Structure 1
Amino acid sequence: MAERIRERLDCRPDEVVAQAALDPELSPQAVASAAQSAASRLEKLSAEREALGPVNLRADQELAEITAQIETLSAEKEDLTQAIERLRGAIASINREGRERLLASFHKVNGFFEELFVRLFGGGRAHLQLTESDDPLAAGLEIMASPPGKKLQTLSLLSGGEQALTALSLIFAVFLTNPSPICVLDEVDAPLDDANVDRFCGLLDHIASASGTRFLCVTHHRLTMARMDRLYGVTMAERGISQLVSVDLSRAEKLRFPPRDPGTPELPGLRG
């Protein structure tokens, strides 16, 4: 018994009572009861220890690895949070600058549109307005036009010819905001009558002289062709063989109507 006490409890037999924190004056029955209770508690703790499984000898190393991963993820989270804040700030700055530029371009285009509309229609008034939102970046665009003798109304309520002239005014207003050296127009005069075609050609002359833009017009209208400086066409002199033909109208006019000598009287009907 002394050997077993030494192996299990690492103490002498006379130290067992003190090791168990028992009163030395207890009766044998009380000691037996306390021993039974201690045995039950020992069995319970042993079962709980067995349930924990074997001891993980790499626990300290794994703890260090997991701690390092947590620190790395925390640093990445902080970097990501800062990047999100910077991105939101950049988006807000871009939106603010975009609104300023959009409003500046809108007012510039609107000014050209009002001027060109009056020139094409010979009067009236028109303007552009933003709709559906107070934010220029999300707002829609409405074209309000009032040809001479008509009330102010939206573009959809105008006639076909009036819509075409209004659309031309808007297109050229946008073009004049940032003009280019060359502008190609393809059958833009098709829906216009002769009077409006003449106004359209006058507008081209005005823009060409003001901005220095060279216009290339694809057209079949005789009045438009008559107002151009040079004509290019395709003819088929022989069957199956196409040939490009050009006519310099300004030079042809000089040949047809040469400059008159100031001392020579002009004869009736000499100039057409």
Structure 2
Amino acid sequence: MKLTDPENLLETGIEIEAKPSGKNIKKLSLLSGGERSLTSLAFLFSIFRSRPSPFYVMDEVEAALDDVNLQRFLQLVNEFRDEAQLIIVSHQKRTMETADCLYGVTMKPGGSSKVVSEKPENNQGPNALFEIADTQKVNSL
């Protein structure tokens, strides 16, 4: 990590460089989507460790990760869940499988939205939420 203008600390930016496994050091802007996500997540989780919070909110942060790096992300999530609550917006089935509770939004007849919730241990994982929403057997919040 480097300051873009070290002489002007009030207006300087930050330039992040990373060295993905087996590659040379590159600027963040030159990395692939998955490499950028992984680098950003490493940076975020290092901040989370140095400045703990009671909860964290993340929005589709793992969308560009491959299976190996998704597993690494989920291991970090499991480490943090003992100390904090994590609210993660995701379309990844494997991420949803780690959840204590799933929330979703479904379309009711007439076009209005309905928020639904389900605890995965009561069913067969994240697909249960969608099956329940489809059959309208949902728990309203």
TM-score normalized by structure 2?
Answer: 0.69
**Structure 1: any 5+ residue segments left out of the alignment?**
1-127, 254-272
* Structure index of larger Rg: 1
The correspondence for 1:177, drawn from 46, 50, 70, is 50
Alignment of 1:22-101 (within 5 A): none
Counterpart position of 2:84: 213
Alignment of 1:57-206 (within 5 A): 128-133=1-6, 137=10, 139-206=12-79
Counterpart position of 2:109: 239
Question: What is the distance in 1 between the residues matched to 2:71 and 2:22?
Answer: 20
Mapped contact 1:230–1:248 kept (Cα < 8 A): yes
Question: What is the distance in 2 between the residues matched to 1:140 and 1:252?
Answer: 48
Question: What is the distance in 1 between the residues matched to 2:106 and 2:12?
Answer: 50
Question: What is the distance in 1 between the residues matched to 2:122 and 2:79?
Answer: 21
Question: What is the distance in 1 between the residues matched to 2:13 and 2:103?
Answer: 41
Mapped contact 1:194–1:223 kept (Cα < 8 A): no
Task: Deviation per CA, 1:169-202: give whole Å up to 9, x if none.
Answer: 2223233332221222112222223332222222
**Percent sequence identity over aligned pairs:** 43
State the 1:153 CA deviation: 2.2
Mapped contact 1:144–1:153 kept (Cα < 8 A): yes
State the 1:163 CA deviation: 0.8
State the 1:252 CA deviation: 4.8
Q: Secondary structure at the match of 2:16?
A: strand
State the 1:136 CA deviation: 5.1
> Which amino acid in structure 2 is aligned with residue 162 of structure 1?
E
Question: What is the distance in 2 between the residues matched to 1:186 and 1:138?
Answer: 28
> Which amino acid in structure 1 is aligned with residue 109 of structure 2?
R
State the 1:234 CA deviation: 2.8
- Confirm or deny that 1:223 pairs with 2:94: yes
Mapped contact 1:198–1:224 kept (Cα < 8 A): no
Q: Which structure ranks higher in relative contact order (CA pairs < 8 Å, sequence separation ≥ 6)?
A: 2
Superposed CA RMSD: 2.6
Task: Deviation per CA, 1:67-107: give whole Å up to 9, x if none.
Answer: xxxxxxxxxxxxxxxxxxxxxxxxxxxxxxxxxxxxxxxxx
Identify if the C-alpha distance between structure 1 residues 146 and 231 changes in structure 2 by more than 3 Å, giving closer, same or farther: same
Flag the structure with higher helix content: 1
State the 1:159 CA deviation: 1.3
Flag the structure with higher strand content: 2
Question: What is the distance in 2 between the residues matched to 1:140 and 1:179?
Answer: 24
Question: What is the distance in 1 between the residues matched to 2:109 and 2:7?
Answer: 63
Question: What is the distance in 2 between the residues matched to 1:147 and 1:193?
Answer: 14
Counterpart position of 1:77: none
Q: Secondary structure at the match of 1:216?
A: strand
**Structure 2: any 5+ residue segments left out of the alignment?**
125-141
State the 1:139 CA deviation: 4.7
State the 1:157 CA deviation: 2.1
